[in-house]
Amino acid sequence: MARHLKEHQLRIVLLGASEVGKTAIVKRFVQGVFAEGYEPTIEDSFQKDLMIPTVWWQEYCADDNQMQCKTATKTISINLTIVDTSGEEEIASNLRSLYLHNADAFVLVYSICSLASLKALEPIAKEIKKIHGDQALRMLIVIGNKCDGLGEQDREVTLEKATEWTQEQGIAEPLEASARSDLHIEKIFKGLIRQRLTGRTPFEAVDPNPGKPERTKKHHCQIA
Ligand SMILES: Nc1nc2c(ncn2[C@@H]2O[C@H](COP(=O)(O)OP(=O)(O)OP(=O)(O)O)[C@@H](O)[C@H]2O)c(=O)[nH]1
Ligand SMILES: [Mg+2]
């Protein structure tokens, strides 16, 4: 049974092969640090509160024959539980089913230096789709870590290749990031929250002047 989504509380699980940088991503996001060394994870859990500005109310009204858009915004507080898992195949395969059932959203991490690490995401993405059905598409994002000077020297996966793969899987396109140089780390989590709560693709820009005005009043959470 899939987990019931509690309002403003998300349990996010990071999955992916060993040494792709899952721990480095979480530590960069939660603690703001990057450590060079490598210590294999068994399992770790982190808490973080985030304030997210949202457009929660929009109304289009005709005024002097002109359509005008009135919006009201509010900031919501989201409590994240972030679970950092082991990429070690034996541990991962034993615990995977538990992780996959017991989460609201997933960050699937590969390293741009390892094609094998991208391929390793395939069974995970398939299982998430099997367990969560239509919801799966708004529950996961794919991150290509190590997109920095050091990682670039050993790049094995182009963004095009990873994008092609996500298209084959029918999931949102990947984002390249670097825990080391703090590239796109906050965007990973904000994008995932946005996708999870609104169903919108994780990294699209919010259009401040939506094109087609409607006369209806909308109440929805739209993360800016
Ligand atoms: N160049 C570069 N190296 C990174 C980056 N993130 C992590 N690393 C290095 O990659 C190695 C593995 O990082 P971890 O974060 O421990 O990898 P992991 O995916 O948590 O590995 P497991 O816990 O075994 O599953 C370490 O030596 C890190 O210093 C990054 O963004 N860029
Ligand atoms: Mg780790």
The pLDDT tens digits of the residues spanning 120-129 come to 999 999 999 9
Domain that includes residue 103, residue range: 9-203+213-223
Q: Domain for residue 197, yes or no?
A: yes
Q: Domain for residue 148, yes or no?
A: yes
Q: Domain for residue 157, yes or no?
A: yes
Q: Domain for residue 2, yes or no?
A: no
Q: Average pLDDT of 177-192?
A: 94
- Ligand 1 environment, Cβ below 6 A: 18-24, 36, 38, 40-41, 86-88, 145-146, 148, 150-151, 178-180
Give me the CATH number covering residue 20. Answer: 3.40.50.300
Angle 53-54-57 from CA coordinates, rounded to 5°: 145
Q: Domain for residue 101, yes or no?
A: yes
Q: Domain for residue 3, yes or no?
A: no
pLDDT for 152 equals 95
Whose CA is closest to atom 9 on ligand 1?
21
Q: Domain for residue 1, yes or no?
A: no
pLDDT for 75 equals 78
Domain count of the fold of the chain: 1
* More confidently predicted of 23 and 209: 23
Residue 201 in this model has a pLDDT that exceeds 80: no
Least distant ligand from the CA of 145: 1
What's the predicted TM-score (pTM) here?
Answer: 0.84
Q: Domain for residue 173, yes or no?
A: yes
